Amino acid sequence: MSLNVRSVAVVGGGVIGASWAYLFLTKGLRVVMSDPAKGAEDSFKLFITKANADSDGSASDLQKLLVRFEFVDDITPHLPKVDFVQENGPERLELKQRIVASIDEHTRPEVVIASSSSGLPPSQFITECKKAPGRVLVGHPFNPPHLIPLVEVVPHPGTNQASITAALEFYKSLGKRPIQLRKEIPGFVANRLQTAINNEAYSLISRGVVSAHDLDAAVSSGPGLRWALTGPIAINTLGGWEQDILRNRFVWDETDIAKLRDEVNKSYGSTDWDEIVRERDSVLMDLLASKSKATSLD
Amino acid sequence: MSLNVRSVAVVGGGVIGASWAYLFLTKGLRVVMSDPAKGAEDSFKLFITKANADSDGSASDLQKLLVRFEFVDDITPHLPKVDFVQENGPERLELKQRIVASIDEHTRPEVVIASSSSGLPPSQFITECKKAPGRVLVGHPFNPPHLIPLVEVVPHPGTNQASITAALEFYKSLGKRPIQLRKEIPGFVANRLQTAINNEAYSLISRGVVSAHDLDAAVSSGPGLRWALTGPIAINTLGGWEQDILRNRFVWDETDIAKLRDEVNKSYGSTDWDEIVRERDSVLMDLLASKSKATSLD
C-alpha cells in the first residue's frame, strides 16, 4: 500500500522534518505537519521559501506546493487519513517511545511508520506500541533530506518484510537511494563509515603528520571525489599499511584532544562557514544533476 | 627555482607517468620521458590521444602538445637540462634506490626530484644518493594525476625546506592541490583514510549488516557527496558509536574473507566496469568544473 502513498504525516518540523516535508511536497504528496515548538510553522515557511529559491523555483511554484500543506497543532485526528508517517522528534528514548506509540495507535495498521532517528535503534522505541509495531522502522536520511539521496532503512527484529519493502519502494519513488540494513547496529552504516575515517583523521592530525586543512584536502581533492561517485567496495583499494594503523589507533586522552583542537583552530579558526555551506550546496546540486545522467553509477 | 620550471623529466611512462606527462604538456611544459618497457612510447601515444579526446581536444591540439614532447631510450644525457623530475618507476626498493641515485647524479643539485611512490618512504630510497639527497621527496598523485588534484608531498628527515616549498609551488602552478606531510608514515595520509573506511566497510559486509552494493551507496549517495566537497574535519561529525566500532574491529580470518568475497560477488559479479569507469570520469570532470567555481571550497 505504501506504493500508493498520497499523503504523509510529518511528525516534528525541525530541520530534518522541514526538509522531508519540502521533498514530499515537490513530489506531489499532501503533507500534514505538527511540531509543539514555538514558531515552528513560521520556521517551516522560511525553510521552504529558501529551499524553493535555491532550486530556482518562483513564488507561484511555492504557492502551488503549499496548497497541499497543512500545519496542525494536534496531529492525532489526521493520522487515520495518512498513508505514510515520517517521524522526526527529539532523540530522547522515552519521548520517542510515547510519540511512536501514539502514531501506532491512530494510524491504519498497514501504514508504515518511519522514524528519522540517527541514533536510537527501533527495537528500543517500539516498546509502547500496542497495535502493529511490525510496520515501524527507521528511515534515517542525511541532512538535508531533500538533497542527499541516501536513506537508511533499519528494521527491528519484528519489522515485517512487507513494511521494509514498502518503505524502500516509497523512498525510491521520491528519487531517494534507500539502503536496507539487515540488523540493528549502533550508528547504522553511513555514520559508522564516517566515524572510521574521522578517527583516523583525528589521529593523523593530533600526531602532527598533517594540518587539519591539508587533511581535509586529502579527502575533498582526492578520494572524496571518487566517493561521490563510487563507494569503497567498487573502488576496492587495499594497501599494506593496515598494521601501522592498528598500531597507532587513536586514544582519546586530554593531550590528544588539545593537540587536535589547536590544529583545527589553526586551520579553521577564521573560516566563513556560511559561504562554504552556500557554495557546497550549490556545487552539490550540480554534481547530483551531472551524476543522475550516468546510469551505471549508483 | 622550481617556480621557473620549463622542462620536466618523466622517468617511467606507465599509467601514472603518462598521466603526469599529459598534465605537464597541457600546462605548456617541455617533457622528456623514458621507460625501458617494450612499446612504452606507443602506449603513451595511445594514452595521450585518449586523454586529449576525453577533454574534447582536437587532433591539432594534440599535435601542439607533442611538439614539446620527446621520448628517449636513455634519460641520462637529458637530466642536466631539466628543471624538475617526476619519477614513476616500479615500487621495488633496490630498483628505486638505483634510479633515484642516477637521477641525483645527473641533475643540477637544486632541481627537485619527486617520486610518485605510493608505498616507499623517501628515507628508504635515497640511501644511494651521493650528490644532493636533500632535494629528493615523494610527490604522490592520485590516479589519474591529470584529473585528480591531490598530490601528497612527503619529505624524508633530510629533505630541505626550499625543496618542499618548491615542489608545493610547482604542483600548485599546475592547478593541483598539494598537501604537505610533516613526517613519513606508511600509506601517507589519503591511503590511510581510505584504509580506515575500507576496513569498516569490510567488517559491516562480512558481519551481514548490509550488502556490498548498499554499502557503496551508503557512501556515494550519502557522505561521499560531502567528501567530494569538504573534508571530514570541516564536516566535523562525532557520534556515540565509537565503542561499538572498537568492539567489532575486523579480524582477517579466512571465514571473514570468504563471507566478504561472497557478498562482493553477489553485488558486483556481473558488473560492466568499463561503463562505470567511463561514466565516473565523465561526471568527475563535470564535478571538478563546478567545484572550481566555488572559491570557498578547498
Q: Give how far B72 is from chain A: nearest CA, Å.
A: 32
Q: Do A287 and B225 touch (CB under 8 A)?
A: yes
Are A287 and B287 inside 8 Å of each other by CB? Answer: yes
Residue A161 has pLDDT above 70, yes or no: yes
CATH top class, domain A2-180: alpha beta
Nearest Cα of chain A lies from the Cα of B77 at a distance, in angstroms, of 35
> Looking at the annotation, which residues of A are catalytic?
152
pLDDT at position B82 over 60: yes
Q: Nearest to residue B1, comparing CAs of B173, B147, B125? A: B173
B222 closest CA partner among A192, A48, A85: A192
Within chain B, which residue ranges are assigned CATH 1.10.1040.10?
190-292
Calculate mean pLDDT across residues A91-115: 97
Weakest-pLDDT range from A140-144, B79-83, B107-111, B114-118: A140-144
Query: Mean pLDDT, chain B, as a whole number?
Result: 88
| Nearest residue to A144 via CA among A176, A119, A120, A168 | A176
**DSSP letters for B235-251:** H----S-HHHHHHT---
Distance CA A178, CA A169 (A): 9
pLDDT in tens, A183-209: 999 889 999 999 889 888 888 887 889
Q: Are B234 and A218 in contact (CB under 8 A)?
A: no
- Say if residues B202 and B257 touch (Cβ distance below 8 Å): no
User: What is the distance between the alpha carbons of residues A237 and A246, in angstroms, rounded to a whole number?
Assistant: 17
Q: Name residues 92-121 of chain B within 8 A of A (Cβ).
A: 118-119
For A208, left (φ over 0), alpha (ψ -120 to 50), or beta? left
Q: Does A225 touch chain B (CB under 8 A)?
A: yes
The per-residue pLDDT for range B174-216, each reduced to its tens digit, is: 999 999 999 999 889 999 998 889 888 888 887 889 888 899 8
Question: Nine-digit cell at A28?
Answer: 506531489
Q: According to the model, what pLDDT value does residue B247 have?
A: 52
Chain B residues in contact with A217 (beta carbon < 8 A): 150, 177, 179, 231, 298
Query: Is A267 at the interface with chain B, CB within 8 A?
Result: yes
Are B219 and A231 within 8 A, CB to CB? yes
Q: What CATH fold (topology level) applies to the domain A190-292?
A: N-(1-d-carboxylethyl)-l-norvaline Dehydrogenase; domain 2 (1.10.1040)
* Cα torsion B174, B288, A235, B21: sign: negative
Task: Report pLDDT for A23.
Answer: 97
Q: ∠A153-A156-A160 over CA atoms, to 5°? A: 80
- pLDDT confidence tier of residue B153, bands split at 50, 70 and 90: very high
Please list, in sequence order, all residues whose beta carbon lies within 8 angstroms of the beta carbon of residue A46, skipping any fewer than 6 positions away.
Answer: none
**B179/chain A closest Cα distance in angstroms:** 5
Average pLDDT over residues B144-157: 94
Mean per-residue pLDDT for A120-142? Answer: 96
- Bridge partners (DSSP) listed for residue A133: none
Mutate to test the interface with B, among A220, A246, A257, A260 (most CBs of B within 10 A): A220
Question: pLDDT digit string (tens) for A9-34?
Answer: 999 999 999 999 999 999 999 999 99
Main-chain dihedrals φ then ψ at residue A177, nearest 5 degrees = -120, 85
**List of chain A residues whose C-beta atoms are within 8 Å of the C-beta of residue B278:** 296
Cβ-contact A157, A134 below 8 angstroms: no
Q: Which three cell numbers stand for residue A205?
A: 592530525
Contact B221 A298 (CB under 8 A): yes
Per-residue model confidence (pLDDT) at position A297? 74
A298 pLDDT higher than 70 = no
- Return the minimum-mean-pLDDT range out of A189-193, A279-283, B272-276: B272-276
Q: What percent of chain A has pLDDT over 90?
A: 60
Residue B65 has what DSSP assignment? H
The distance between the two most distant Cα atoms of chain A, rounded to a whole number of Å, is: 60
Q: Is A91 helix (H, G, I), strand (E, B) or coil?
A: coil
| DSSP type of residue A120 | S
Higher-confidence position of B139 and A275: B139
pLDDT in the model for residue A56: 84
With a CB cutoff of 8 Å and minimum separation 6, the contacts of B253 are: none
In whole angstroms, give the CA distance from residue A110 to residue A83: 9
B240: cell is 556515540
Which residues of B are less than 8 Å from A286 in CB distance?
286-287, 290
Which residues of chain A are within 8 Å of residue B213 when distances are taken between CB atoms? 298
C-alpha cell of residue B59: 587532433
What CA–CA distance (Å, rounded) separates B133 from B139?
A: 15
Cell 504525516 identifies what position?
A: A9
- Name the percent of chain B lying above pLDDT 90: 61
pLDDT at B295: 80
Structural contact between residues A259 and A206, judged by C-beta atoms closer than 8 angstroms: yes
Contact A222, B142 (CB under 8 A): yes
Question: For B210-249, how does the pLDDT look when each residue is reduced to its tens digit (9 = 90+)?
Answer: 888 899 899 989 999 889 888 887 766 433 445 555 555 5
Q: Give the C-alpha distances (Å, rounded to integers) separating A111 from A81, A86, A126, A132, A251.
A: 10, 11, 15, 9, 46
* Whole-number Å distance between alpha carbons of A115 and A141: 10
From B155's Cα to the closest Cα of chain A, the distance in A is 11
